[in-house]
């Protein structure tokens, strides 16, 4: 059950990311970097997700002074596939043209991304390296997820500007509200998922004890 919510969370996250990209109103700083590299260098947005993830794994390892968490590449791989899949499916379905429909589209994508991130992070299984970096920063600064997420956004905003990524009003919305939305969903997903995951864990333990007794 834990791994099911892990995959579901990533699929929700990548749906939100893809909706933001399709809104043509700018994207989050990290995704703007991926789109900028895709357009100017080549490869798909999902491919750059995996490449940047490998780089961040090395950075996280250096900061924490521990072995690289290469398991995070599994999450990055699923995320990359999810982004490319949703972009393909939404290519002709989500094409807002008027500013207020673009704004509504982007806002929906931002909320969906926050829900997806909170869901998969709560399973505590192989966070995307950029989210692991956010958690590391939160631990080092002893602040909340809102502060650390905003700092990470600002860092990637600079990188996105250098790569000529799609920076717009949506990017500003993400920097201002992305961390806040994630901070809002984290306790909600905990409240919803904890009973389900604990019940599943209890059932698994009882099954194991039953098999051992037999």
pLDDT digits (tens, 9 = 90+) for 21-54: 888 888 888 888 998 999 888 889 889 988 998 8
- pLDDT band (50, 70, 90) for residue 201: low
Structure tokens at 147: 């502060």
DSSP state of 24: T
Three-state secondary-structure class, residue 165: coil
DSSP state of 124: T
- pLDDT band (50, 70, 90) for residue 203: low
DSSP state of 144: -
Quickly tell me which residue has 């500003």 as its tokens. 172
Q: What is the pLDDT of residue 99?
A: 82
Q: What is the pLDDT of residue 92?
A: 82
Average pLDDT, integer, range 120-138? 81
Q: What is the pLDDT of residue 207?
A: 53
117 neighbors 82 (Cβ within 8 angstroms): no
- pLDDT band (50, 70, 90) for residue 11: very high
Structure tokens at 38: 């895709």
Q: What is the pLDDT of residue 127?
A: 73
Give yes or no for residue 206 having a pLDDT over 50: no
Structure tokens at 68: 């690289």
* C-alpha span between 51 and 78 (Å, rounded): 13
Give yes or no for residue 126 having a pLDDT over 80: no
Residue range 132-164, pLDDT digits in tens: 888 888 888 887 777 887 888 788 888 888 888
Cα–Cα distances in angstroms (integers) from residue 50 to residues 70, 78, 124, 177, in the given order: 11, 9, 20, 25
Mean model confidence pLDDT for the chain: 83
Structure tokens at 51: 């490449």
Three-state secondary-structure class, residue 68: coil
Give yes or no for residue 66 having a pLDDT over 90: no
Phi-psi domain of 24 (left: phi exceeds 0; alpha: psi -120 through 50; beta: other): left
């Amino acid at each position: 059950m834990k791994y099911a919510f892990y995959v579901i969370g990533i699929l929700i996250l990548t749906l939100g990311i893809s909706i933001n990209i399709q809104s043509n109103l700018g994207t989050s700083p990290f995704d703007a970097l991926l789109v900028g590299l895709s357009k100017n260098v080549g490869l798909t947005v999902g491919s750059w997700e995996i490449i940047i993830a490998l780089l961040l794994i090395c950075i996280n390892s250096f900061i924490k002074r521990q072995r690289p968490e290469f398991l995070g590449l599994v999450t990055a791989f699923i995320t990359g596939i999810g982004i490319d899949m949703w972009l393909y499916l939404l290519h002709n379905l989500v094409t807002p043209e008027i500013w207020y429909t673009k704004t509504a589209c982007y806002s929906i994508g931002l909320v969906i991304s926050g829900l997806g991130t909170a869901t998969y992070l709560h399973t505590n299984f192989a966070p995307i390296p950029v989210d692991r970096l956010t958690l590391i920063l939160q631990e080092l600064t002893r602040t909340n997820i809102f502060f650390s997420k905003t700092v990470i956004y600002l860092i990637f905003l600079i990188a996105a500007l250098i790569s000529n990524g799609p920076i717009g009003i949506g990017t500003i919305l993400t920097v201002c509200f992305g961390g806040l939305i994630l901070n809002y969903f984290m306790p909600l997903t905990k409240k919803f998922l904890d009973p389900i995951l604990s019940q599943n864990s209890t059932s698994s333990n009882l099954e194991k004890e039953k098999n051992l007794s037999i």
